[in-house]
Amino acid sequence: MRHLQTALAILYAGAIYVFIFLPVAVLVLFSFQDGTLPVPPLHGLTLRWYGEIFANGKLMSALGNSLVVALVSSSVACLLGFLAAYAFARYKLPASGLQRALIVAPMTVSTLIIGLGLLSLFSSIGLPLSLWTVGIGHVVINLPLCFAIIYASMGAHQVNIERAARDLGARD
């Protein structure tokens, strides 16, 4: 009975892992396809497509743009999220429940709607769209997540670590 259960568990988990990794594995495998169609049969492995990416200036600059937007917007989101989480965990603020609800509210709104709202705002004040406006949108979407995760990890034990640090002469 116990063995049967274990066998079933392994079988089930294995099937779900295959399901989870199937698209990623196929994508990676057929990115080396020696042919123009990324579907079976596999004609052989080649690095040709990767070579073409690196040779293509437009693709490389798009990759650069993605990296810059990702780095800047995630840094801003983490910084703002950390500062707010720190304040809520350490100080008593009026209506803190309401303020926390406001900060996590964008998490419950479709990213499409956040984008639409920003688009209408930016076009009404005449701000041209750019990577900056993209970054602003990403911070709106990611700030709630950064805040919620950092806030959840600032439990009581963290306060004690800070007290200990202060006792040992560390400055705020």
Partner 1 sequence: MSATPLERMERHRAWAFVLPALLWTAAFFLVPFFYMAAISFWTRKGREIVATWTLDNYSAFFGKAHMFKGLVVSLEITAIVTVISVLLAYPLAWIIAERVPKRWQRFALIMAILPFWTSYVVRSYSWLLVLSKGGVVNQALLWTGILSEPIELSANRTGTVIGFVHFFVMLLTLTIYANLIQLSPNYRRAAADLGANAFQTFWYVILPLTLPGIMVGAFLTFVLCIGDYITPQILGGNNELVLPQIIMLQLGRRADFPMAAALSLVLMVVVSIAYVACARWLKMERT
Which has the closest alpha carbon to 73: 21, 29, 136, 24? 136
- Selected from 7, 35, 40, 67, the binder of partner 1 by CB under 8 A is 40
Let me know: does 97 contact 105? Beta carbons within 8 Å. no
- Selected from 32, 49, 74, 118, the binder of partner 1 by CB under 8 A is 118
Minimum CB distance to partner 1, residue 80 (Å): 4
- Residue 136, both tokens: 């602003």
Residues 54-83 that bind partner 1 (CB under 8 A): 79-81, 83
- Selected from 46, 111, 130, 160, the binder of partner 1 by CB under 8 A is 111
**Residues shown for the chain:** 172
CA–CA distances in Å: residue 171 to residues 22, 160, 162, 164, 167: 51, 15, 10, 11, 10
- Selected from 107, 131, 159, 165, the binder of partner 1 by CB under 8 A is 107
Residue 113 contacts partner 1 per CB under 8 A: yes
Count the alpha carbons within 13 Å of 147 in the hemisphere toward its beta carbon: 23
Residue 108 contacts partner 1 per CB under 8 A: yes
Residue 139 contacts partner 1 per CB under 8 A: yes
Residue 27 contacts partner 1 per CB under 8 A: yes
Residue 137 contacts partner 1 per CB under 8 A: yes
Distance, CA of 129 to chain centre: 22
Which has the closest alpha carbon to 102: 140, 76, 150? 140
Residue 93 contacts partner 1 per CB under 8 A: yes
Cα end-to-end span (Å), the chain? 59
Binding region for partner 1 (CB under 8 A): 6, 9, 12-13, 16-17, 19-24, 26-27, 30, 37-41, 79-81, 83-84, 86-93, 99-100, 102-114, 116-118, 120-121, 124, 136-137, 139-140, 143, 147-148, 151-155
